[in-house]
Amino acid sequence: MKPVHDILVSIRDLRVSFRLDRTTAFEAVKGIGFDIPVDSTVALVGESGSGKSVTALAILGLLPKENSTLGPDSRILYRDRNLLQLAHGEMRKLRGCDISMIFQEPMSSLNPLFTVGFQLIEVLAEHVGLGSRQARTRAIELLREVGIPEPETKIDAYPFQLSGGQQQRVMIAMAIACEPKLLIADEPTTALDVTIQKQILDLIAEVQKRRRMSVLFITHDLAVVGEIADHVVVMRDGEIREQGPVQRIFEAPQDSYTQALLLCRPQLARRPRRLPVIDDFLNRAPAAAPDAPERSRGLRGDEAIVIEVRHLGKSFYSREGLFGKREFKAVSDVSFKLAKGKTLGLVGESGSGKTTVGLTVMRLHEASSGQVLFEGKDLLAMPPGVAMQYKRRIQIVFQNPYSSLNPRFTIGQILMEPMQIHRLGSDEQERRNMADALLEKVGLPGTSFFKYPHEFSGGQRQRIAIARCLTMKPDVLICDESVSALDVSVQAQVLNLLQDLQDEYGMSYIFISHDLAVVKYMADQVMVMNEGEIVEIANSDEIYLRPQHPYTKKLLSSIPRGWRGPRESPIAPG
Partner 1 sequence: MTTATSHAESPGLWVLAWRRFRHDRVGLVSFDIVLFFVALMAASWTGLIASDWAREVGVSNAPPTFTGPKVASARLEHAAAPEPLRRDKSDESAAVDPLAGVLAEIRASRPPAAADTEIVDPLADVLAEIRGRSGSASADETRAATLIFGGDKWGRDVLKKTIKGTETSMFVGLAAAALAALLGTVFGALAGYYGRWIDDFFNWFYSVFTSIPYLLLILSIAAVLNQKGTMTVILILGLTGWTGIFRLIRAEYMKHKVREYVQAADAIGASHMRRMFVHIFPNVSHVVLVQLSLHVVLFIKSEVVLSFLGFGVGVDTVSWGSMLNEAQTELLLGNWWQLAAATAAMAMLVTAFGLLTDAWRDALDPKLK
Among 68, 315, 400, 558, binds partner 1 (CB under 8 A): 400
Among 39, 239, 308, 417, binds partner 1 (CB under 8 A): 417
Instruction: Indicate whether 551 belongs to the interface with partner 1 (CB under 8 A).
Output: no
Give SS3 for 235. strand
Instruction: Indicate whether 252 belongs to the interface with partner 1 (CB under 8 A).
Output: no
Cβ closest to partner 1, residue 156 vs residue 455: 455
Q: How many whole angstroms separate alpha carbon 478 and alpha carbon 362?
A: 9
Instruction: Indicate whether 64 belongs to the interface with partner 1 (CB under 8 A).
Output: no
8 A C-beta contact, residue 347 and residue 354? yes
CA angle 295, 395, 298 (to 5 degrees): 25
Q: How many whole angstroms separate alpha carbon 338 and alpha carbon 58?
A: 51
Q: How far is the CB of 332 from partner 1 (least distance, A)?
A: 23
Instruction: Indicate whether 391 belongs to the interface with partner 1 (CB under 8 A).
Output: yes
Local structure of residue 542 (DSSP, 8 states): H
Cβ closest to partner 1, residue 158 vs residue 390: 390
Nearest to 477 by CA among 370, 350, 377, 361: 361
Q: How far is the CB of 396 from partner 1 (least distance, A)?
A: 5
Cβ closest to partner 1, residue 317 vs residue 545: 317
Residue 345, Cα to own-chain centre: how many angstroms? 17
What binding mask, one character per residue, do residues 446-475 give for partner 1 by CB under 8 A, x or -? -x--xxx--x---------x--x---x---
With 0-12 / 13-18 / 19 or more C-beta atoms within 10 angstroms meaning exposed / middle / buried, residue 96 is: middle
CA angle 83, 183, 350 (to 5 degrees): 135
| Residues 165 to 184 in contact with partner 1, rule: CB under 8 A | none
8 A C-beta contact, residue 55 and residue 236? no
Q: How many whole angstroms separate alpha carbon 32 and alpha carbon 14?
A: 5
Give SS3 for 44. strand
Q: How many whole angstroms separate alpha carbon 251 and alpha carbon 42?
A: 17
The DSSP bridge partners found for residue 35 are 10
Q: How far is the CB of 315 from partner 1 (least distance, A)?
A: 17
8 A C-beta contact, residue 94 and residue 86? yes
Instruction: Indicate whether 399 belongs to the interface with partner 1 (CB under 8 A).
Output: yes
Instruction: Indicate whether 68 belongs to the interface with partner 1 (CB under 8 A).
Output: no
Q: Which amino acid is at 358?
A: G
Instruction: Indicate whether 319 belongs to the interface with partner 1 (CB under 8 A).
Output: no
Q: How far is the CB of 431 from partner 1 (least distance, A)?
A: 14
Cβ closest to partner 1, residue 140 vs residue 405: 405
Cβ closest to partner 1, residue 106 vs residue 453: 453
> Phi/psi of residue 178, each to 5°?
-100, 25
What binding mask, one character per residue, do residues 351-370 give for partner 1 by CB under 8 A, x or -? --------x--x-x------
Among 199, 395, 482, 508, binds partner 1 (CB under 8 A): 395
Instruction: Indicate whether 410 belongs to the interface with partner 1 (CB under 8 A).
Output: yes
| Residues 14 to 43 in contact with partner 1, rule: CB under 8 A | 21-22
8 A C-beta contact, residue 12 and residue 74? yes
CA atoms within 13 A on the CB side of 383: 2
How many residues interact with partner 1 (rule CB under 8 A)? 33
Instruction: Indicate whether 10 belongs to the interface with partner 1 (CB under 8 A).
Output: no
Cβ closest to partner 1, residue 104 vs residue 399: 399
Residues that bind partner 1 (CB under 8 A): 21-22, 359, 362, 364, 388, 391-392, 395-396, 398-400, 403-410, 417-418, 421-422, 447, 450-452, 455, 465, 468, 472
